Structure 1
Amino acid sequence: MTASPPSTIPTSPQAEDKAKRNVACINCRNSKVRCKPSPGTGDACQRCAKLHLTCIVDKSHKRVTKRSKLELLEQELETIKQAVSIPTKEAVTTHTPPSPRKQLPFSNFPVPTSTIPTLSAALQTPTAAIQTHTPLSDTPGPAIPRSQLLDIPLRTEPTEPRMLGEHLVTGEDIDSYFTKFLHCFHPFLPILRKRVPNDCYQSCPILFWVIIYITCRRYTKDRIFFTRLASHVNREIWMLLSDPVMNLDAIHALLYLACWPLPSIRLVTDPSTTLVSIAMTNAMMMGLHTGRGSHREFCIGLRKYCESTNEEASSTWLACCMLAQKIAAYSGHPPPSIRLDDGSCLTNLDNPFWTDLIVMFRMQKFMNRFHTAMAAHVSSCGGVSHTIVSMWESELEIVKPVFAEHPTELSVFLELAALLEMQVFYFNPDNVIDNPPAPINIFKAFHTARNLIATSLEQESRSKFLTHAAHWVFRLVVDAACIIIAVLHSPTCPDISPNDAAVLAQQAIAAIHRCSVQENDLPHRAGVIIETFWTYHTSLPKLELGDCTWSSRLSIGFTCWCLDKFKVGLQAAQRSNDAAAQKDQPILSYDMSTIVTAPVATDPPMPSDVDLMEIDWNMFMEEFGWVNEKGVLLGLP
C-alpha cells in the first residue's frame, strides 16, 4: 500500500497577505491592541483606517515603555552631569569692564573699543543701529546654562492647542513660545515652576498667556494675534487683582507682567508698582517670607490649597523683594520694606540654578538700605551731600565680591547699575553745601553712564541682552542716556571732540531703541524724545546742571529734570523759529484764555535752516501729561 501524496490546499490572496503581515503596525503596537489587516493588499489596517492614521509596518520598531523612558532619562542626566562637571573655556570666560573708580576722565574721552567690539561698524550705518524697534526673528538667543536646564521636566504627552477668542494657537506654536521663553527671558526672573504648557494652563491660565505674551513681544508669528493677546492679558490681569486669594502661579503672573509690561504703558501709567505690591502682599499672606511652602499657619481657610515647596516659596519671595526695590527705584518712590530674615530662603536655594536670582536679591537688598538713607537725607535737607554718596560708593566696592563670586553678564550690568543709581545723587546736592555739584562728581557719573551703555551694547551684540531684557534694564539705560546727553550739553562738558560726543550720544540712543518691541511703545518714544533734543542741541541753550529739581523723585529725579529741560528747550526753539520766519503759530495756555505769539526775549535766535516742524510734539504731551500753566504747543501736530 503506497502512501498518497499530500494534498495541497489552495490559498486565497487574503490568506497570503495575512501570512506576510505577521508584524503589527506601529500604531497598534504602541497602543498594545491587535492589528487586523484590511482585505486589500497594501491598505491600512482596520484600526488605522477607522482612526484615519498613517499605517506603517516596521519590524525594527520597539514600543516605548516605562523602562525605555527611564533608560533614556538616565542617559540624558548622565550627559548633563558630564557637561556641568567639565566646563568649557567659553563658559569660564567672563567679561569684566574697567572700574570707573580706577581712572576718572578729566581731559580725554576716547571711545572704549575694548568694551564695544562691534559698535564702530554699527555707528557707520546709523539707520541699522538706531532703528525704531528690533525686527522680529525666529532665531532665539543663546541657550541658558546647563544648570538651569536640570529642572525642566520631561513631557509625556503632546501640548494641547488653545483658543484665544477666534484665534487658534497650535500645540507646536505653544511649545515654540515656551521654549524661547525659557531660553531667552526666564534667566531674568527664573521662578517659573510650571514649565510644561499643559500643566501651566491647568494651574493658572493667565500665567500661561502672560508667558506667551512675553515671548511674542519679540518672536510673534502674527502681529494681529499679538495685539489681541496683549488686550486679553490686560483685561484678565486686572480681573485677577480683584481675587482676594491667589495661588503661587497667579503671583508669578503678576511678577512677570511687572518685568515685561504691556507696550501700551507710559511713564505716568506704568502699573508695575501696583502689580508688584499686590504680588508681594499675597506672597506674605501665604507665608512665603518664612521660606516654607504650604505653611500650615498661613495656608488656612481658602489658602489651604495653595501648595508649594520650600524652594518655590523662597525663590518667589526673593523675586518679590528684588522687583519691589527695583521698581521703586526707577519709579522714584520711597524704598519698600524688604529687610526681613532671609537666611532660611537663601538656605533653600543652595543650587547653581538660583545664582543670578540670589545675586539680584543681594544687590537690591543693599540698594534698599542706600535708597532708605537717601530718602531720609532728601526729606530733611532737600538734597544729599557728596561726601555721603562717596561713602556709599566705597562700601559698594567693598561688598561687590560678596554679591557674585563668579561674575556673569547680569551681575556685571547690575554692578554698573547700582553704581549709577548712587552717583545720580551727585546731581541732587545739598542746597547749602554742594550747590552746584563739583565737576569731578559729574565726571564720575558721566563715566559710569558711558560704561553702562557700552556694556549693554556689547552684551546685546553677544547674547541679545537688551532684546530680551526686563523693563528695569530699559529704565536704567534711559537714566544713563539722560546723564550723557545732559553733561555733553552743559558748560561742564568734559574735554571731548564733537565727533566723539556725537558717537557717545548715538550709542545711548541706539541702546534705548534696542529695547523697543514695536513702534510707539515707551522705549521708542523715549528714544525719539532724546534723539530729537540731540539733533537740535547746537541751537539750544546750555543746561545748568546745578539747577536740578525733582529731588523728591530720588534716583529718577535727574531723568525727569532732563526730559523736562528737553521739552522746555525745544519749545523755546520753536517759538524763536516761528518768530524769525514770521509764522503765526499761537501757543495756547492750559485755560485757553491767553494767546502767546511773541518769542521770549532771552531765547537765542534759531538758524533759518533748522526745521522743528518734524518734531513729534505729541510724544511730549502724551508721555508726561505736560499740559500745565506754562502752556503747550497745541497748534503743532
Structure 2
Amino acid sequence: MEGIHTSGGAASPATSGRPGTAGESYKRKRSGAEFESSPGTGGDGEGEEEEESRKRQPGVKRACNECRQQKLRCDVVQDPFTICSRCNRLKLECKIESNFKRVGKRSKHAEMEKEIERLRRNLHQAQVQGYVVEDDVEIESPAAPNGMYSRSSQSYMGSDEAVSSLLHLKQGGSYNMPRIVKEIENVGLTEDAINHLFNEFWCCYHPWLPFLDPSQTPEAYYQQSPLLFWTIITVASRRYNIDPHLLTNISGPFTRLLWTAVGEVPNNHYVVKALCILCSWPLPTSTTSTDPTHILSGVMMKAATGIGLHRPSHTQDFSRVSVDLNKEQLHDRVVTWAVCNIVAQSIGTGYGQPASTLYDWTLAIRPGEDGPFTLSPELEARLQIERFCDKVSKEMYSNASDPRGVAGDELRAMLTRVYRREFNELKVSILSQQNLSPIVRLHVVAAGLHLRLSAFFDSSTTQGYMDDLMGLWRAVLAFLDLVFELESHSVDNEMNNGILRYATNYIRQMIVAACFALLKLTSSFFAKEIDFERGRQLFHRTIQAIRNMSIINNDLPWRLAELMVQMWNGARVEARSLASQMVNNEQSSSEIRTIIDDSLQLKVRCRMSMSLVFDTIWRWREEFQAQGRGNLEAAAKNPTNPESAAESSASSTHLDSTLMPAAHQIQNQLLSAAGAATPNSSLPSASMLSGSLGYNGESNYEVFDPLNWMLDGLVDFPYSYAAVQGLEANGMG
C-alpha cells in the first residue's frame, strides 16, 4: 500500500499524483481518529499543511481542489495550466488554491442533521402562521404537488443551498428539488405547474376567444411579453384545483405588474393581447367600484391604435424605425386588432357603456379573399355579431337630442323592426356555417337579447308594446335555453363540470340581464300572458348557474344571485297580499290592466340594454331606503333558496322584517300610485319591481353607480370572507 504503481511506470510515494508524501501517509495511519474530527482539520489537512511548510521537491505536482477533496489521483498540469482528466470528464471547475482545506464528511453530515431539524421547526412555524402544505407533503419531498412556491414561505425553509444539500443526502446524492423557473414577486412556479396551467387555458378558456397560438411554448409567450405570460397564468388559475390558493396569491403581484406595464406605455401588440384576455376574464371583485375592466378596455384600444394596429400594413408610420412585416406578422396584427374590437364591443354591451370600437377598412369583410387580412371563420362571425350590437347601441342609445341618449318611442319602434329583420338575416347566415363552434351560436342569441331588452324603454302607448314584450320573453327563453343546452352537453362530455365555469365576463353579464328580465316579467301584469311555471323554473336554474360562475365566495356574481333570490321571494310575499286586497276590493281585470301598463318602463335609462339591471336594483334600493336597512349576512353565508317562498307569508322569505314593508303600506302604495294586478295573475306586481316607488323628482338622481351603491354596504353583505380578504390584501381591494 505504501508504493503506487501505474501503467506508465513506477512512481515513488514522493513523486506520486497524491498531494501528500510517504511521511504524510504514516502520520495519517497514526492519527486516524483525528482524520475527520472537524471540517478542514486533522488527517489529510494536517499532512497538507505540514507539507506546505516544507520546501517542495522539484517535479512534485499539486492536485486540484476537486481531486484533493475526494483524495484521488490528479493529472493536472500547472504550467502551462491544463485541467485534469477527471474535472474535464465531470465538467467540474478545475483549480488549485494554496489555502484549500478538505471538508470532512462526518462533520458535514452532522451539520446536515442539524439543518434538517432546523428546517422541520421552521416548517412547523410556517404552518402555524397560515402557510399550507398540500397532502401533508414533507419538506424532504422532491416536488410539491402543485408546483407553486411562495418566496415569502421560503424564508422559513432556509437557503436554497441547505435544501439542495438535504435532498442530496436523503436521495443518495441525486438533486431532484423542483426548480422554480418563473416567479412574480413572492410567487414562483415550476415548469410542471406552468405547463399544467397553460394546458388548462388552452382547453377551457381559449375556445371562448380563439386568437392565440396553442403550439407556442410558455417560454415563447414569456419572451414576447411577461405580462402576456402572467395573464394566461392568472386566468388559468381561476379554476386551478391543484392549488386553489394560487389565484389569491398571484392577484396582487399580477395587478402591480399590469399597472406598471400600462404606466410604461405599451409599445408592442403582445401587451395588447394580454389586455384582451384580461378584459374577457377580469380578476374577481366583490364590488363594481374596484372593477377596472372598462378602463382597461379603453387602454387596450388606445394602446392598439398608438402602435398602429388599425393600420397594420403601415406600421412604420407609428414607429421611429422602419418596420418590415412578413405575411405571418401582418396577419397576427390584423387578428389582434379584430379581437380588440370584439372585446371592446362586448365590454360596452355588458357594462352598458359606449364602446370604443373602430370598424374600418382593416376589418372590412372581403368575401373570397385569402390573405393576411382574412380572419378565421370563428373570429369573422364574432366580428359580425359585435358589429350588429354596435349598431343597435349607437342607434337606440346615442340620441344627441335626448339628455340620456335614448331614441324616442317612435324611432325606437321603427329601429326595432329594422334590426329585427337584420338580426334574423345575420342569424341565418352565421348558423348556416357548419364549421363554427356552439359558442358562436351563444353570442348570436345574446345579440338578439341585447336588441330585445329595449322593450323595457317603451311606454304603454308605444305601438306594438305587447308584441315587443313577447319578443323579449322569447329572446330570454332562446338565450337561456341555449345556455343550459351547452352546459348540459359539456357536462355529459365530462368537460370539467360544465362550460359556463369558464365563460367570459360578457356571457355572465348577459345571463344576469336575462335573469333580471325573468324576474321583472314574471312579477308584473305580463305574467298572465306567458307560461309562468316555465319562467319560474328557468329563473331558479339561472340563479344556480350564476352562482356556479362565481370564482370566489361573495364575489359580484354570487352577491347578485343572492340579491335576485331575495327580490323574488319578497315579490311573492307582496303578491299574495295584493291578491287578497284585490279580492276584497273586487277590482275588475280591465281596470287593473289599465293602471299597471307602465309598471315595466325603466327609470334608469343611461345604461343602454343593461339599464334593466341597474333600474331594478335602484328600485330595490328605494325600498330599503324607505323601510330601513336589513341584515343579509346569514343569507350571504347560507344562500337563499328561491323556492323558500311558501304559501304562508310568515315562512316565505329569509328577509329581515325591516326589509319588507307592512301589508297595508304595500297595498296603499300600489293601489294609489300604480295600481295592482289581477287576482287571477300567477304573480302580481311587486312594489320594488314596478314603478310605484319613483325617484321623488329628477333632483334625487345622483351621479354614481347604483349597482355599486346598492352592494357596497346598504344591505350589509359580508364580503370580508377570507377569499376576498386575500384578494384585497394582495392589492385588489
TM-score normalized by structure 1?
0.63
> In structure 2, do the counterparts of structure 1 residues 416 and 47 end up closer, same or farther at CA, with 3 Å as the change threshold?
farther
**In the alignment, structure 1 residue 398 sits paired with structure 2 residue 433:** no
Once the two structures are superposed, residues 169-225 of structure 1 have per-residue CA deviations (whole angstroms, 9 ceiling, x without a partner) of: 110110111112112111222232583111112221121111011111012422333
2:603 equivalent to 1:603: no
Match 1:532 to one of 546, 566, 569: 566
Return closer, same or farther for 1:344/1:290 CA change in 2, 3 Å cut-off: farther
Matched, 1:368 2:402: no
Match of 2:223 in 1: 202
Q: 2:302 aligns with which of 281, 287, 295?
A: 281
Aligned equivalents of 1:409, 1:48: Cα separation in 2: 61
Instruction: Give the drift of 1:451.
Output: 1.9
1:461 partnered with 2:454: no
Aligned AA (1:366) = F
The structure that has the greater radius of gyration is: 2
Give the Cα–Cα distance (whole angstroms) in 1 for the partners of residues 374 and 179 of structure 2: 29
**Partner SS state of residue 222, structure 1:** coil
| Equivalent residue number for residue 469 of structure 2 | 442
1:422 paired with 2:475, answer: no
Deviation at 1:237, TM superposition (A): 1.1
TM-superposed CA distance for 1:479, in Å, is 0.8
Number of residue pairs matched by the alignment: 457
Distance 2:534 2:543 in 1: 14
Determine which of 293, 298, 307 is the counterpart of 2:318: 298
Aligned residue number for residue 507 of structure 2:
473
Equivalent runs, 1:9-48 vs 2, <5 Å: none
Match of 1:558 in 2: 612
**TM-score relative to the length of structure 2:** 0.55
Structure 2 matches for 1:185-196, cutoff 5 A?
A: 185-193=205-213, 195-196=216-217
Distance in structure 1 (CA, Å) of the matches to 2:329 and 2:717: 60
Code of the residue aligned with 1:207 in structure 2: it is: L
> Which stretch shifts more, 304-313 or 260-269?
304-313
**2:183 is paired with a residue of what secondary structure?**
strand
Aligned-pair identity in percent equals 20
Residue 167 of structure 1 deviates from its aligned partner by 3.5
Q: Is the 8 A contact 1:159 1:174 kept in 2?
A: no
Native 8 Å contact 2:547 2:558 kept in 1? yes
CA distance in 2, matches of 1:269, 1:331: 14
1:354 to 376, 379, 384: 376
The AA in structure 2 aligned to 1:324 is: A
Query: Which of 338, 342, 349 is equivalent to 1:322?
Result: 342
**Residues of 2 paired with 1:373 and 1:576: CA distance?**
41
Code of the aligned partner of 2:558:
H
The match for 2:239 is 218
Change beyond 3 A, Cα 1:632–1:225: closer
Partner of 1:31: none
Secondary structure of residue in 2 paired with 1:625 = helix
Whole-Å Cα distance in 1 between the matches of residues 210 and 179 of structure 2? 22
Range that drifts further, 498-507 or 223-232:
498-507
> Is the Cα–Cα contact under 8 Å of residues 453 and 507 in structure 1 kept in the other structure?
no
CA distance in 2, matches of 1:177, 1:597: 47
8 Å contact from structure 2 (residues 334, 372) kept in 1: no
2:288 counterpart residue number: 267
- Is the alpha carbon distance of 1:184 and 1:505 closer, same or farther for their aligned partners in structure 2, counting shifts above 3 Å? same
Higher relative contact order (CA 8 A, sep 6+): 1
The residue type equivalent to 2:383 in the other structure is F
The one-letter amino acid of 1:602's match is: Q
**Quick check: 2:381–2:440 contact (8 Å CA) kept in 1?**
yes
Q: Deviations over 1:582-610 (max 9, x none)?
A: xxx999xxxxxxxx9996963359xxxxx
User: Quick one: structure 1 residues 309 and 354, their matched pair in 2 at CA, closer, same or farther if it must change by over 3 Å?
Assistant: same
* Alignment of structure 1 residues 209-248 onto 2, 5 Å: 209-248=230-269
Deviations 1:454-512 (A, max 9, x none): 21122122233211111101011111111111111111114566653431211221221
Gaps of at least 5 residues in structure 2 are: 1-71, 73-85, 93-145, 147-177, 491-497, 579-595, 632-649, 669-704, 720-733
Query: Is the 2:618–2:707 contact (alpha carbons within 8 Å) kept by the matching residues of 1?
Result: no
Which residue number corresponds to residue 57 of structure 1?
A: none
Unaligned runs of 5+ in 1: 1-38, 40-45, 53-137, 139-157, 588-595, 606-620
Aligned counterparts of 1:387 and 1:520: Cα–Cα separation in 2: 42
Partner secondary structure for residue 547 of structure 1: coil
Deviation at 1:373, TM superposition (A): 0.7
Q: Distance in 1 between matches of 2:539 and 2:626?
A: 22
Q: Tell me the distance in 1 between the aligned counterparts of 2:279 and 2:716.
A: 33
User: In 2 relative to 1, CA 288–193 (structure 1 residues): closer, same or farther, beyond 3 Å?
Assistant: farther
